[in-house]
Amino acid sequence: MRINYLYKILLPLKPNVDVIILATLALLIVIFGGIGVYLAEHTHQGANITNLGDALWWAVVTISTVGYGDLYPVTTVGRIIAVFVMLSGIGIFVLLVDSLSQRRLQRTESRLNSKTQAGTFGDEQKIAIKNKIEEIEKLTKEVHALLGAG
């Protein structure tokens, strides 16, 4: 019963499922990357990421590839996490742009297909045109025969 309810809720989101997956992935990377950097940095002397709020802010800024430079990890583990968050941000951005461009291309193709299908002839119309052409050719031969005989 609950699955049907969940399905009814999620059905309208089906066209945007790729964007939802990317957003969820980005959110998870921000949360776990921020917590990981906080755990690696908060006890280290000289670290500027000393509370969870700063760590999460750093993760958001890093995954969005802005990187203000006001907060940065100083430990080796923190820097490894930072590289992962940076590359994840770039990858998510690339996949998001790819998804949006594919969707736009599909819409453009469907519009183009509908326009070209509306302008094409059906089989009946093709047969009618072919019959008219044959009739014109027959009449042309008759005219030439009459002009040649007269």
**Mind listing the pLDDT tens digit of every residue in the chain (150 residues)?**
576 776 666 666 666 788 888 999 999 999 999 999 999 999 999 999 999 999 999 999 999 888 888 899 999 999 999 999 999 999 999 998 898 888 888 888 888 877 666 656 677 888 889 999 999 999 998 888 888 765
Name the residue type at position 86: M
- CATH class, range 11-119: mainly alpha
Task: Judge if pTM exceeds 0.75.
Answer: no
**Are the beta carbons of 86 and 65 closer than 8 angstroms?**
yes
Name the residue type at position 13: L
- CA–CA separation, 146 and 140 (whole Å): 10
How far are the Cα atoms of 10, 63, 83, 133 from residue 60, in angstroms, in the given order? 27, 5, 14, 70
**Are the beta carbons of 49 and 37 closer than 8 angstroms?**
yes
Burial of 62 (0-12, 13-18, 19+ CB in 10 A): buried
Q: SS3 of 122, please?
A: coil
- CA–CA separation, 95 and 108 (whole Å): 20
Nearest to 33 by CA among 80, 95, 96, 94: 80
